[in-house]
Amino acid sequence: MKLAIITGLSCSGKSVALHTLEDEGYYCIDNLPVFLLPALAGELVKRHDKRFQLVAISIDSRNTPTEFESISTLLQPLKAEKIRFEVIFLEAQDETLIKRFSETRRRHPLTGGARPLAEAISYERELMAPFLNVADIRIDTSQTTLHELRHLIRSRITERLDTKISLLVQSFGFKQGVPRDADFVYDARCLPNPHWQPALRQLTGKDEAVQAFLGASNDVKHYQADLAQFLEQWIPRFETEGRSYLTIAIGCTGGQHRSVYLVEQLAIHFRAHGRQIQTRHRDLPREEKAPN
């Protein structure tokens, strides 16, 4: 049995993630009390039922602090039974969550009594911290569209090869903030900026003219080579430690030229070396709204 445990902050996209896994053939259970997790997983394994070969469970903040604090202990029986499981933690910035609650007119599950929304979000973040500490995948949906979140869930959970670490390399613009879910963050603002070339300003790092401009720079070549060498050296160490996922973020000023180019080049490099890699360009134009 393969078990995906979806958890995180309210309005961060947990329902979207669970529905995506359901579409991929997972048997889904919503809002499971956390103390039932070991018993449920053990019972499903004993049944040897094909329906339960792929199972996804969502757990929200409506549990006691003591139950959340004991999550590491609650996961031990799953490890003892050699159940393949992954904890996926979804979150977003406070201002994003407040905006989503306002747009959807949903009530936060922790706003009982006189607690305002901002305090409820802060309390929930504190309450869910033990889950974040054991998460295999951390996804910040602050600037993620519905389509992108569905794609991330499919590529990082349902399509991943179990034998190798899964790499997500994403570009971003420092103007829009650093991704909260990155394991490594690299700053490419020291490289030549195509923005100052009028003919390249409206293009992106995916366009041939921008690629030619950046590819002709020795600084860009050295930066790219050093970055690839560093990752080649240390990715195997993460695999040795049992990591299944690694998120690498490369930023430039606006997330349009330099970071996009480097992400595309790294993807070509690692795919040629047999690595499983997904790319994401966070700050390039998108059409869909963010997940609720």
Instruction: Verify that 72 and 8 share a domain, yes or no.
Output: yes
- Alpha carbon distances (Å) from 38 to 60, 71, 142: 16, 10, 31
Q: Of 141, 158, 175, which closes a domain?
A: 158
* Residue 262 contacts residue 192 (beta carbons within 8 Å): no
pLDDT less than 70: residues of the chain: 113, 159-163, 286-292
State residue 205's pLDDT score: 97
State residue 292's pLDDT score: 44
Q: What distance lies between CA 86 and its chain's CA centroid? A: 13
Instruction: Verify that 144 and 227 share a domain, yes or no.
Output: no
State residue 163's pLDDT score: 55
Q: Of 158, 184, 217, which closes a domain?
A: 158
Instruction: Verify that 133 and 210 share a domain, yes or no.
Output: no
Number of domains comprising the chain: 2
Q: Of 140, 158, 176, which closes a domain?
A: 158
Domain membership of residue 287 (yes or no) is no
The single-letter DSSP state of residue 36 is G
Instruction: Verify that 177 and 268 share a domain, yes or no.
Output: yes
Domain membership of residue 57 (yes or no) is yes
State residue 36's pLDDT score: 94
Instruction: Verify that 196 and 228 share a domain, yes or no.
Output: yes
Instruction: Verify that 138 and 178 share a domain, yes or no.
Output: no
Give the pair of three-digit tokens for residue 174: 């420092």
How far apart CA 111 and CA 117 sit, in angstroms, is 6
Instruction: Verify that 18 and 154 share a domain, yes or no.
Output: yes
Q: What distance lies between CA 274 and its chain's CA centroid? A: 22
Q: The domain containing residue 186 runs over which residues?
A: 166-281
pTM: 0.72
Beta strands 137-140 and 166-173 are unpaired
Residue 166 marked as a ligand binder: no
pLDDT tens digits for range 22-55:
999 999 999 999 999 999 999 998 888 889 999 9
Instruction: Verify that 151 and 179 share a domain, yes or no.
Output: no
Residue 155 marked as a ligand binder: no
State residue 242's pLDDT score: 72
Residue 244 marked as a ligand binder: no
Q: Which residue has the tokens 């090869």?
A: 161
Instruction: Verify that 75 and 99 share a domain, yes or no.
Output: yes
Residue 62 marked as a ligand binder: yes
What Rg, from alpha-carbon coordinates, does the chain have? 21
State residue 287's pLDDT score: 38
